[in-house]
Amino acid sequence: MTNSKSGVYKARKNDKSLYYRVFLAYKNKSLSLGSFDNEKDAKDAYEDALMITSDAGITLRDYTDVSKLSFDKWVSLINYRDNNIYFANPIYLRPGLFYYYLSPEEILKFDLDDLFFYSSHKIMRRQGHMFVSNFGSQLSIFSKYGIKANAVVGRDYNFINGDNLDFRYSNIELLNTYNGVEIINAEDGLLYKAYIHVNGNYIIGTYDTIEKAAIAYNKAADMLIQKGIGKKYALNKISGMSPKEYAHIYLELEISDKIINYQV
């Protein structure tokens, strides 16, 4: 790597082709600004970084697609300039919370309790889902709140203030925390449909309380396991219910004949 006073350094890839790495010395740190295929883009990115760090009047609203410096770096540098802490991820600290910028228009809000996690886990999106990579697997950001993968906003959970980008714990209202239970808005009130996945979803039954639907799921899972289905089901835990009451409901609940007669 060839040194440069401008913060731009020449380097070579494994195939010996030339590229340019950019670093900024700021507040006793050497900050990586990215890699570029040509020297002009690299120098432009460096100049943008100098502008951001030397002018407190530069904000995120000044970012344009013309900039060679990535938007994530804009956020990181402005936060470092204003709050004296550097995050590689696009985080900006606010009093009592922090913003995580998916884009200039999409700003997630989180409690400070989650700052350590998201400062080291980058949020990614695929087909509308937001997740982080955690120990080699994809972890939905909704799972931190007990929200199931197939949950639907307005049915299984709500954003209390109506802002579906506000992930502060006080703004998340869980309506359904059970596996295999779907809430149905019927004409005469709410009903609760229980279902279980066995080579496709099987309807277990529809019940008048969410607890009964959750227990019906457990009963269906037990039946399938006894039949030798060879699949592990995460059973529902029913809080606030005595073992005697649970057992009574479990025995009395009717289960779909498709489950009763299922053959492995």
Residue ending a domain, among 177, 196, 214, is 177
223-248 burial: b if 16+ Cβ within 10 Å, else e: bbeeeebeeebebbebeeeeeeeeee
Percent of the chain with pLDDT over 90: 82
Checking if the pLDDT of 36 tops 50, the result is yes
Residues 70 and 110 both lie in one domain: no
Which residues, in sequence order, are bridge partners of residue 101?
107
Residues 224 and 173 both lie in one domain: no
Checking if the pLDDT of 1 tops 50, the result is no
Checking if the pLDDT of 2 tops 50, the result is no
The predicted structure's pLDDT at residue 5: 58
Checking if the pLDDT of 4 tops 70, the result is no
Residues 43 and 97 both lie in one domain: no
247 token code pair: 């057992």
When pLDDT is averaged across residues 177-182 and rounded to a whole number, the result is 92
Residue ending a domain, among 86, 103, 135, is 86
Residue ending a domain, among 86, 107, 125, is 86
190 token code pair: 């709410």
| Average pLDDT over the chain, rounded to an integer | 93
Checking if the pLDDT of 148 tops 90, the result is no
Percent of the chain with pLDDT over 70: 98
Q: Which residues contact 125 (CB under 8 A, 6 or more apart)?
A: 102, 131
Checking if the pLDDT of 216 tops 60, the result is yes
Residues 93 and 166 both lie in one domain: yes
Residues 139 and 74 both lie in one domain: no
Which residues, in sequence order, are bridge partners of residue 109?
99, 166
Closest Cα partner for 254 from 214, 209, 219, 227?
219
Query: Into how many domains does the chain fold?
Result: 3
Q: 93 lies in which domain range?
A: 87-177
- Antiparallel, parallel or unpaired: β 97-101 and 124-126: unpaired
Query: What does the alpha-carbon distance between residue 165 and residue 174 come to, in Å, rounded to a whole number?
Result: 16
Residues 71 and 97 both lie in one domain: no
Q: In this predicted model, what pLDDT tens digit does every residue of 49-82 receive, in sequence order? A: 999 999 999 999 999 999 999 999 999 999 999 9
Residues 109 and 119 both lie in one domain: yes
User: How many other C-beta atoms can be found within 10 angstroms of the C-beta atom of residue 45?
Assistant: 24
pTM > 0.85: yes or no = no
Which amino acid makes up residue 27?
K
Query: What does the alpha-carbon distance between residue 83 and residue 86 come to, in Å, rounded to a whole number?
Result: 8
State which H helix or E strand residue 140 sits in: strand 137-140
Residues 96 and 162 both lie in one domain: yes
Residues 23 and 97 both lie in one domain: no
Q: Which residues contact 59 (CB under 8 A, 6 or more apart)?
A: 78
Checking if the pLDDT of 155 tops 90, the result is no
**pLDDT band per the 50, 70, 90 thresholds, residue 188:** confident
When pLDDT is averaged across residues 221-245 and rounded to a whole number, the result is 92
Residues 41 and 19 both lie in one domain: yes
Q: In this predicted model, what pLDDT tens digit does every residue of 131-147 receive, in sequence order? A: 999 888 899 999 999 89
